[in-house]
């Protein structure tokens, strides 16, 4: 009989994204949210962590415009986003010019699909930042 298949945190995260869901982890013991996905809570050491849907709202913590040749797609944005849950992730803010992304700007996540693989992207949340 085959041993049961285990999902790594990375595989779980990606499978949720592929299904259009942006999930992060939360520690059942200390209650803190965790990103990037992993096995143990980096704050209190508890395991296993549980998966929860991310609210999707966040704030730009830092941002950079990466120079790329026009025929290769042109300049693009790389940003660090502080989610309202208290975790930080690397992502890209779209819907505005790369250089127009501002630190402190409120942004909202969506899951884009590229070749069947889900990827979290952000766009400006607009005034009020309602979910």
Q: Using CB under 8 A as the criterion, which residues of the chain lie in contact with other proteins when the complex forms?
A: 10, 14, 35-37, 61-67, 76, 78-80, 82, 86-92, 99, 103-104, 119
CB of 28 to other proteins, least distance (A): 20
With respect to other proteins, which residue has the nearer C-beta, 96 or 119?
119
Short-list 37, 43, 31, CA closest to 11: 37
CB of 119 to other proteins, least distance (A): 5
CA separation for the pair 89, 96 (Å, rounded): 19
- Cβ partners under 8 Å of residue 18, min gap 6: 113, 116, 117, 118
With respect to other proteins, which residue has the nearer C-beta, 4 or 116?
116
């Amino acid at each position: 009989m085959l041993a049961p298949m285990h999902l790594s945190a990375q595989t779980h995260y990606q499978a949720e994204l592929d299904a259009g869901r942006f999930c992060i982890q939360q520690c059942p013991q200390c209650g803190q949210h965790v990103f990037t996905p992993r096995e143990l809570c980096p704050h209190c050491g508890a395991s296993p962590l549980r998966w929860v849907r991310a609210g999707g709202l966040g704030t730009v913590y830092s941002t950079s415009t990466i120079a790329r040749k026009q025929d290769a797609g042109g300049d693009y944005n790389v940003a660090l986003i502080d989610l309202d849950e208290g975790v930080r992730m690397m992502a890209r803010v779209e819907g505005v010019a790369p250089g127009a992304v501002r630190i402190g700007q409120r942004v909202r996540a969506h899951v884009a699909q590229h070749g069947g693989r889900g990827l979290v992207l952000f766009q400006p949340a607009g005034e009020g930042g309602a979910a």
